Structure 1
Amino acid sequence: MGLRRGGGLLRSSVLVGAMLATAPAVARDGDAMAPQPLAFSDQSPTVSIYGLPRADGYTVAEPGAWRAGLRVDYTSHYTEQQAGRESLLFDGETTRAALIFERGFGDDWQATVEIPFVDHSGGFADGFIDDFHDVFGFSDGGRSSAPRDQQSFRYQRDGRLALDVSDSPSGVGDVRLGLKKRLAGVGDWGMAVAGELKLPTGDADRLTGSGAADVSFWGTVGNNQNGTSRWRMLAGAGGLYSGQGDVLEAQRVQEVAFGWATLGYAVAPSFVVKVQAYAHSAFYEDTDIEALDGTAVAGALGVDWMLNERSRMEFAIIEDLNTGASPDVSFLLGLRHAF
C-alpha cells in the first residue's frame, strides 16, 4: 500500500542532506579502532518485516572503496499469550541471511544496499535453546512445555485468524537502501547521521516482507578517545515511518522510535568484547498482547574481531530483556571485507 503522508519526511531528508553536504570532512585516523555496534535489530516475525534499522556506527568507507559482507541472524521464537478476545502463538525459528554492499563517496558519504533472504521453519534447536536458558537462568516463556521443532505464527482476534503462517515459508526479503553522512564530530566524539529506505520486495503473506515501503532516520555518536582507550562507547537513536503494509494493517503504528547503546572493551587491539541494549516502541496498537504492543528491549553480549586490516567478524547472543515483547533468543554472525 506504500507510504502515506511521506512527502514531508522526504522533503526534510533532501533539506538535511543539502545542509550536511557542506559539513567538513574528517580524518579517519584510528577508524580501525573506532567503536562499532553489534549490528542487530528486533527479529520478531511481525517486526522484522518493517524497516527497523540495525544498530549502526559513525564510520564510513573511504571514497571510492567498497565493503561487502554477509550477515546471518538465527532467531528462535516462542511466546504464547492470551488477553480477553485475543490469542497469539509465535513458535518457530527464523534464519535471515543478508548480503550487504557499502561504497564510500567524497565528503564522507556512504551508500549501502542490503539484500536479504528469509527462512521460517520449525528448525531443530529447541532442545539446545532449552538447555541454553537453563544454564544461564533465563526465562523460557513456556517453551520447555511446548511441542518441539514446529513452526506456527498465529494471531487470533474476535474468533478470527488475523495472522496464520504455519507452512515454513522462505524467500527474498525486503531490500534496503541506505545513505550515511559522517560529521566532523566534537573533540573525541565521532558522529554521523543516516537514513534508510526499505522496499516492498518481500512477500507479506509469507512474512518475508511487509508489503509496503518504509523510511527511517537516525543519528549516531561514539567515543574511544581517538584510539587511545580500550573502552568503546556508542549510542544511536532515531525514528521510523512505515507504510501501512499488509500485515495486521488495521492495528499498525506507523511512527516508531528506536535507539541503542553499546559499551565495548578491547581485550586486544583487534578483539573487542561488547554489551549492548536495543529498544523500540510498539509497532501495533488496539491490542492487549504484549508481543504486539509492548516496548521491546533486547540485550546482547558479543565480540568484534578484526581478522586483518580489511576483514572483520562479529558474533553476538541476543536475549529479550522484557520477556514476551521481543524474540526469545537470537544469534548473530557477521563477516565484512573491504576492497
Structure 2
Amino acid sequence: MMRAPVFACTALICATAHAQVGPEPAVLRARDLTPFGLQRLDMRPADMSDRPIGRWTAELQAAYQNTFVMSDDVHDYLQDRDQGRLPLRPEDARALLMAPHDSYYVDVEVGVLDFILQRRFTQRFAAFVEVPYIHYGHSRLDRLIEDFHDAAGLSQMGRDLVARDRFQILYHFGDTRLQMLDREVTGGLGDPIVGVRYMSSLAGRWQFALEGAAKLPVAGERLLLSTGEIDVGLQAAMRRRFGRATLQASAIAVHYSGGLESAADELIPTLIVAGSYAWTPAASIIAQGHVSRSVVRGTSIDELSDNKYQVSLGLQSSVRRWTWTFAITENIGNYNNTPDVGFQLGLAYSGQ
C-alpha cells in the first residue's frame, strides 16, 4: 500500500545528489508498536542531529496503532461459528486453547508516549534516557479501517466475523498460553531506557554513530507493561547527505531476555533505512523502512515467527528550537505479526 511513496522518495534522493544543501537531515524516531514483544528494548534510529554541546534536548514521541490478526484455524472457527459479529466468548477461548496446535487472536489498540531527555557532552559523546507511558485502548479505529478496506476493495481479514471496539488477546504457542477477553490493564509506565552515543565524521559527507542502550525493569514484572528483565542493545548508524536529500541506515542488535511470548533469551536484529528530502528550507518529507526478526520463536505458525516488514511516510518541520514530525506506518509483506496501521507524532526542543 505504501510502495509508491517509497519509490517516489528514492527517486527524489537520486535526482538531487548535487542539489543545494537543505536543512538538518530528517529521520523518524518512532518505535515499533508490534504487540508481540512491545515490552522489549526497542532502539529507535539514532539521533545524529547537530545538537548544541552542553545543553539538554527534550523530546516527546507519541504513537498509536491498531492490530487485528489471527491464525488460520481461528479464522475457520469464527466462520463456522456463524453467529454474527460477536466478540470472543469464554467458550470460544476454551475451544481454541484446547486445540493441539498453535493458534492466536489479537485485537488491540496501543498508544505509547515516550519522554526522551538527552545531552550532548562533547562533539562526539551524548547520553540519553527514555521513559515510556503505555496505554491500551478498545479498538476505536476498527470502523475507519473497515471502511477503508471496503473502499479499496481489500479483504477484511476476518474483521467482519467479530465485534468492533474490543480489546482481546488469545494465543497458544507451545507451552505458552494467554487469555484476555477484555482489558485487564489500561496503561502505565513502562521500563526506562538509558543509553550513550558516540558520533564521528568519516571521509567525505559520511557521518557515523555507535549507540548502546539498556532497558531497566525498575518496578519488576508487570502484565503488559514490563517483562521484569534487563534487555541490552547496540546500534551502528551511517548517514550521508546528497544535496537536499539524506540517506540514513541503522543496524541494531538487541538481546531480548524473554517475556510473555518467548521465555528464552534471543538476539533480535533490526535494519532501519530512512530517506529524506528537504522540499522547503524548514520542512522535509521522509520515507522509512523497518525490518526486524519476530520475538515469537518455537511456534509452528510461520507467519507469526517470520520477519516483520513495515514502512512509514512522514513530514518533519523545524521552527527555531522546535522540531515536529508526523508519520503513518503500514505493514507490508507479512501482515499477521505487525499492526495494520500506526500513527506517530513527535516534538523536540533543543536548548541553546
Structure with the greater alpha carbon radius of gyration: 2
Q: Give 1:253 shift.
A: 5.1
From 172, 175, 183, the equivalent of 2:192 is 175
Query: d(CA) in 1 for partners of 2:22 and 2:194?
Result: 24
Structure 2: how far apart are the matches of 1:173 and 1:202? 9
Mapped to 2, the partners of 1:310 and 1:138 lie a distance apart of 43
- 1:72–1:332 contact (8 Å) kept in structure 2: yes
CA–CA distance in 2 between the matches of 1:299 and 1:305? 20
Q: Which residue of 2 aligns with 1:34?
A: 24
1:189–1:293 CA distance, 2 compared to 1 (3 A): same
Equivalent residue for 1:126, pick from 136, 139, 142: 142
CA contact (8 A) 2:173 2:298 kept: no
Q: Normalized against structure 2, the TM-score is what?
A: 0.79
Counterpart for residue 63 of structure 1: 53
Structure 2 counterpart of 1:72, which letter?
A
TM-score, length-scaled by structure 1:
0.82
Partner in structure 1 of residue 251 of structure 2:
237
Deviations 1:27-57 (A, max 9, x none): xxx9983323211232122222101212234
Query: Which letter maps to 2:341?
Result: V
Q: Which residue of 2 aligns with 1:115?
A: 131
AA at the equivalent of 2:59 = G
CA distance in 1 between counterparts of 2:188 and 2:303 reads: 24
Q: Does the CA contact (< 8 Å) of 1:45 and 1:207 recur in 2?
A: no
Q: Which runs of 5+ in 2 are unaligned?
A: 1-19, 74-99
Work out the CA distance in 1 between the residues paired with 2:101 and 2:64.
32
Q: Give the match for residue 3 of structure 2.
A: none
Find the partner of 2:236 among 213, 219, 223. 219
More displaced 10-residue stretch of structure 1: 329-338 or 37-46: 37-46
Instruction: Provide the secondary structure at the position in 2 that maps to 1:100.
Output: strand
Structural mapping, 1:171-320, within 5 Å = 171-201=188-218, 204-225=221-242, 229-245=243-259, 247-250=260-263, 252=264, 254-290=266-302, 292-306=304-318, 308-320=319-331
Q: Distance in 2 between matches of 1:324 and 1:102?
A: 35
Q: Check the 8 A contact 1:121/1:168 in 2, yes or no.
A: no
Q: Spell out, residue by residue over 1:152-196, the C-alpha distance to the aligned partner (whole angstroms, 9 max, x if none).
A: 1221246x7712343251111111112111112221111111111
Alignment partner, residue 4 of structure 1: none
Which of the residues 79, 83, 101 maps onto 1:85?
101
Distance of aligned partners of 1:312 and 1:32 in 2 relative to their CA distance in 1, 3 Å threshold: farther
Computed over aligned residues only, the root mean square deviation of the Cα atoms, in angstroms, reads: 2.4
SS of the equivalent of 1:206 reads coil
1:303–1:316 Cα contact (<8 Å) kept = yes
Residue 236 of structure 1 aligns with an amino acid whose one-letter code is S
Q: CA deviation at 1:120?
A: 1.1
Of the structure 1 ranges 309-318 and 103-112, higher mean CA displacement relative to structure 2 is found in 103-112
